[in-house]
Structures are given as structure tokens and as C-alpha cells.
Amino acid sequence: MVQYSNFDRTMEASHHFTCASRSASKKGASSKRQMNGRFFLRTWTEGLIFVLIIIGLVSCQMNQKEIPYLSTKLSPYSDELGIVPSSLPKSFFQAETYAKLETGLDDFQVHTGIGKQGNHSGYWMQIETTFMLTSLKKDESLNICRDTIRHKFSGDTTMITFELIHHLSTDEIQYIWLDADNNRSEKAIIINIDHPLRAGKMFPNLTVEQLNGGKLSFNELIGKTVVVNWWHTGCGPCIAEMPGFNKLVEQYKENSNVVFVAIAHNKKDDVARFLESREFNYIQTLANENAVKLFKDSYPVNLIINSEGKICDFSRGGHENKYLEIEKVLNGLLE
């Protein structure tokens, strides 16, 4: 039988304690090394992701900078150029300068310039067959006017977008085409869009206030062919097409199944004052929030709704012979 003295027991306990301490110390060091390794790996991964993001952003910016602005210059305008529609009365608008923007697309033309509407000067654009008046924001510090133009055409089912800069001191025009995400492009891009008033869609259940009182609900007109005009009292092309529209009203006055409705994006008093000096024989109504959401703030818009409530023709832009286009569609519907 082996016996242990107190000294031996003390030494044995001390030995076990020392071994346990060393073991714990080894385990702690190992755990610490593992934690440091995981921390390093996570930090390295996050750093790599950050670097890749920066490289992507820089690359994107470099690609944007690789496509420079195109440049042209305004020149004096003459009627012989035939860019501005000859049907547009000069009493409403007179073009003074023009410039052609190179689109890079076959048979797709864009022109812009400066002209006068009454006593006010402003910018005009002829994009394909659509004429429009617009404005650019002035930067006094740089002595330029600039803006991003988003123009819809083909019944508002397609659009082109570009940035336009007019250098006031030199009459230089700079422009850059943009895609649907506002990225620069070397040529104009035709962007397809969905529009609530495009041909083939049902016309929404819109209710508007009539100028002479009462409400007009388009749902109540189902069963009739409805011709709609969206206009503004300060719109030159809107005014130019009114005499022809009055001819249409006269032509179809015996047909109770054809209704002509005008929706003015003006206050009631402004419309009433306007009609005191001009004749416009459509049923006169006033725009509300729902109407503005549908038609937006570009004038004029003309559309034809068939007896089933479906839009069968949509067009933006106006001129004095616009009524002939509408008459042709009406004749096809009523045959």
C-alpha cells in the first residue's frame, strides 16, 4: 500500500493545477487564433466587396464620360425649310431660329429652335411629325438654359429622352441622348411605354364638371362614339384646330350617337373668358385631378372612343387640318 505524505499530495495537486492551467491556456490561445482568423476573413471579404463596388461605380462613370455631348448651332429659320408645320398660324407662333439634332436613326428627325408666341420668346421642337413648345431652365451663373426633354409620340406608346443645353452667348446647342435609365447613349433610343390612353384600351370611368353646370360621366356615353379634345387656353396649336372642330360638330349635329367633348386644363373663369371671344362648339368641361393624371400636361390631345368605350384613336399635337384626320377615323367607325 502506497501512502502519500502531505508534501507529496501538495506537489501532486500543484502538478495537476499546472497541467490544467497549461491546457486551458492552450485552448484559450487556440480559440483566440480561431477568432482572429474569422475576423480577418470577414474583414477581408467586406473589403473586397467594397473595392468591387468602387470599381463598378468608377467603371460606370468612365463609360458615361466616354460618350460626349453632341454639338450644333442655331441658325436663322425660314419657311422654305418646311420644318415647322405651315398650318400653324403665325399670329400664334413664329419660328426665328432652328437646329437639327443628329439622332443616329434612319428617318427619325428632331429639330429645335427659338420662336415667339405673342410677345413671349420660347423654345420649340419638331420631333418626327409632332410640333411642341417647351421651356428650358436658365442657369444665370453659367449663362445657359438647359433641361431634360422627355417626348412621347405614337399615341404616347413610345418616348425619346435627351438633355439639351443652349449656350446663350454663342447660340451653341449641346445635347446627349439618354436611355430609359438616364444613361448616355450615342444615338436616340425609342423607349416603349405603357399609357392609360393608348389605342385599344378601355377609356377609364372619368367624371368631369361641365362649364355650364352639372357633371359629365364618360360611362354614361357608352353606346355612342365620343370625340375628346384635351386643351389649354394658352396653347397655340389648340386654338389653331378649333375652327375645323366646329366644322365637325356642324357636320354630325344630326347624329345623336356622335358626341364631342372638350376638357380644358384651366380654371373655370379662364375658360369662360376665353370663349367670350372664340367659338369652340364641343361640350365644354373642366379638368380635375383624375383628368390630369390621364392626359398629363401636354396639349392638345385628341382621341376617339368607340361605342363600346374603347379608345380607337389617340394623337398628340394639333394644327388647323386636324379635323380632317378625325373625320377620316369617324367615317370608318360609322360605316
More confident residue, 167 or 46: 167
Identify the CA nearest to 177 among candidates 64, 38, 256: 64
Q: Closest Cα partner for 208 from 193, 228, 192?
A: 228
Higher pLDDT, 281 or 30: 281
Q: Does residue 6 register a pLDDT over 80?
A: no
Cα within 13 Å of Cα(292), Cβ side = 8
Supply the angle between the helices 322-334 and 236-251 in degrees, to the nearest 10. Answer: 40
Least confident of 115-129, 226-240, 244-258: 115-129
CA distances from 333 to 88, 143, 170, 196, 282 (A): 28, 53, 52, 22, 20
Greater pLDDT, 165 or 335: 165
Tell me which fold the domain 207-334 belongs to.
Answer: Glutaredoxin (3.40.30)
Q: What rounded mean pLDDT belongs to the chain?
A: 85
* pTM, rounded to two decimals: 0.58
269-289 pLDDT per residue, tens: 999 999 999 999 999 999 999
Higher-confidence position of 107 and 257: 257
Q: Is 309 a residue whose pLDDT tops 90?
A: yes
The partner residues of 100 in beta bridges, in order of sequence, read 111
Q: What is the pLDDT of residue 155?
A: 66
pLDDT at 310: 96
Q: Which residue has the cell 417626348?
A: 151
Ranges of CATH 3.40.30.10 domains, the chain: 207-334
In terms of pLDDT, which residue wins out, 228 or 31?
Answer: 228
**How large a percentage of the chain has pLDDT more than 70?**
81
- The answer on pLDDT for 1 being more than 70 is no
pLDDT band at 56 (very low <50, low <70, confident <90, very high): low
